C-alpha cells in the first residue's frame, strides 16, 4: 500500500508483482516450530499443552493483522515457562514439564462469572437472554462430552431502535470471548449506510476496513437493511460474503446485522449467498404502552424520584 499510494517514484522502481511473499505459517507448521523450540530448550510439553497452545496461536493468527508467526510461538513459550517455573521445578534430568494450565486462553479467568448480569439490568430482555442461554448450553454440552462445539455462524438481530440490540451485541462479544470462540471481546460498530462508498470501487475498501477492525471479534452492522438499497449495496454484500468464506483471514470473526424485521428480510433476499450464512435470528419485541409506563416507574424508583399525578403521567406516556 505504501509503494502504491505514497510515492510514484518508489512504485516504478519496486514492482509489486515481483515481491517476495512470506505467507503466515499454518497450524502444522506452527506445531513443528513449537516442537523444535521445546526440544531446543529441554521442555516436555504434554499433549494437552500442545493442543491448547496451538488453539491460542490459531486464534492469534486469525485475529491479528500482523501475526508474529515464529515470534508468537516464542512469546507463548516464554509466558508458559514463566507460569510453569512458578508452580513446579525441573526434573532431575533438567527437563521442564509444560501443562495446559501454563497457557492462558481468552476467558480462562472469567468462565465462572455471571455472563448475563449486564442484560439482567435491562428491560424486556427475557427472550433474548433465553436465546443466549440456549447457545451457551450447546457449548457446555459439547465441552462436557468432549465433542466439537457446534458451528456458530452469524447473527441477525431484528427489532426497532431502542430495544437493546447494540447492548446485546456487546454482551455477545464478551460471552463468545469467554468461551474462547473469538480472540477479542471487542465489538466494532458501524451501519449499513457507512459500509457503502461514495464512488465505484470504493465500497469494497470501506467494507474491508471495517472487517479488519473487527477481526477476531464482532462486527455489528446496525440498520443493515441499507445494504439492500442504493447503487453500492450489492458490492458491500458481495464483499461481506467473500470475507465470510475466507476462513483463513476472517474465520475468527462473528458478524451481527441488525434492523427492522421486514427490511432485513428484504435485504437478505437480494443476496442468497449472504442469506445462507446467517443462521441465528434473535427477535427484539417492541414495547407496548404498559411496558413503557412500567419502565418509567422502575427508573424513577431506582433514582429516588416520586411521581405526582401518577395516572396523568401514565396517560401521557400511553
Residue 109 pLDDT class (50, 70, 90 cuts): low
Q: What is the CA radius of gyration of the chain?
A: 24
Higher pLDDT, 30 or 111: 30
Q: Give the least confident one: 252-266, 273-287, 296-310.
A: 296-310
Residue 155 has pLDDT above 90, yes or no: yes
Measured distance CA(318)–CA(313) in Å, rounded: 9
Q: Where are the alpha helices (DSSP H) in 67-198?
A: 70-87, 117-120, 126-144, 165-178
No. of H helices and E strands in the chain? 15, 7
Q: Residue 143: CA atoms inside 13 Å, Cβ hemisphere, count?
A: 10
Q: pLDDT (tens digit, 9 = 90+) per residue, 202-218?
A: 899 999 999 999 988 99
Q: What is the rounded distance in angstroms from the CA atom of residue 119 to the CA atom of residue 204?
A: 35
Between residues 136 and 111, which one has the greater pLDDT?
A: 136
Say yes or no to pLDDT of 260 above 70: yes
Assign 112 a pLDDT band (cuts: 50, 70, 90).
very low
Three cell numbers, residue 193: 449506510
* Mean pLDDT across 129-155: 83
CB-count burial class (<10 Å; 0-12, 13-18, 19+) for 11: middle
Residue 313 pLDDT greater than 60, yes or no: no
Q: Are 208 and 162 in contact (CB under 8 A)?
A: no
- pTM to 2 decimal places: 0.71
pLDDT at 129 over 80: yes
Can you tell me the distance from the alpha carbon of 152 to that of 154, in angstroms, rounded to the nearest whole number?
7
3-class state of residue 280 by DSSP: strand
Where does the pLDDT of residue 181 fall: very low under 50, low under 70, confident under 90, or very high at 90 and above?
A: confident
pLDDT value at position 113?
Answer: 47
| Rounded CA separation 187/145 (Å) | 31
Amino acid at each position: 500500500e505504501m509503494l502504491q499510494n505514497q510515492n510514484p517514484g518508489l512504485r516504478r522502481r519496486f514492482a509489486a508483482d515481483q515481491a517476495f511473499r512470506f505467507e503466515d505459517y499454518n497450524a502444522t507448521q506452527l506445531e513443528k516450530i513449537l516442537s523444535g523450540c521445546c526440544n531446543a530448550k529441554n521442555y516436555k510439553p504434554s499433549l494437552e499443552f500442545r493442543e491448547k497452545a496451538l488453539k491460542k496461536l490459531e486464534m492469534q493468527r486469525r485475529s491479528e493483522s500482523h501475526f508474529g508467526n515464529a515470534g508468537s510461538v516464542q512469546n507463548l513459550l516464554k509466558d508458559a515457562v514463566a507460569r510453569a517455573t512458578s508452580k513446579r521445578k525441573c526434573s532431575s534430568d533438567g527437563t521442564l514439564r509444560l501443562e495446559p494450565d501454563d497457557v492462558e486462553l481468552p476467558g480462562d479467568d472469567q468462565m465462572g462469572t455471571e455472563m448475563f448480569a449486564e442484560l439482567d439490568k435491562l428491560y424486556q430482555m427475557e427472550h433474548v437472554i433465553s436465546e443466549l442461554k440456549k447457545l451457551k448450553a450447546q457449548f457446555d454440552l459439547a465441552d462436557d462430552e468432549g465433542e466439537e462445539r457446534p458451528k456458530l455462524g452469524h447473527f441477525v438481530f431484528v427489532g426497532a431502535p431502542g430495544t437493546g440490540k447494540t447492548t446485546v451485541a456487546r454482551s455477545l462479544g464478551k460471552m463468545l470471548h469467554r468461551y474462547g470462540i473469538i480472540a477479542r471481546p471487542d465489538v466494532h460498530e458501524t451501519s449499513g449506510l457507512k459500509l457503502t462508498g461514495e464512488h465505484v470501487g470504493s465500497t469494497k475498501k470501506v467494507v474491508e476496513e471495517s472487517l479488519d477492525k473487527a477481526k477476531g471479534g464482532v462486527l455489528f452492522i446496525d440498520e443493515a437493511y441499507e445494504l439492500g438499497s442504493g447503487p453500492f449495496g450489492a458490492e458491500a454484500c458481495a464483499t461481506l460474503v467473500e470475507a465470510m468464506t475466507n476462513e483463513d483471514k476472517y474465520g475468527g470473526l462473528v458478524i451481527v446485522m441488525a434492523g427492522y424485521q421486514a427490511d432485513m428480510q428484504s435485504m437478505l433476499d437480494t443476496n442468497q449467498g449472504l442469506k445462507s450464512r446467517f443462521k441465528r435470528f434473535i427477535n427484539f419485541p417492541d414495547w407496548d404502552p404498559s411496558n413503557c409506563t412500567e419502565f418509567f416507574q422502575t427508573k424513577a424508583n431506582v433514582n429516588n424520584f416520586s411521581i405526582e399525578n401518577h395516572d396523568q403521567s401514565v396517560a401521557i406516556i400511553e
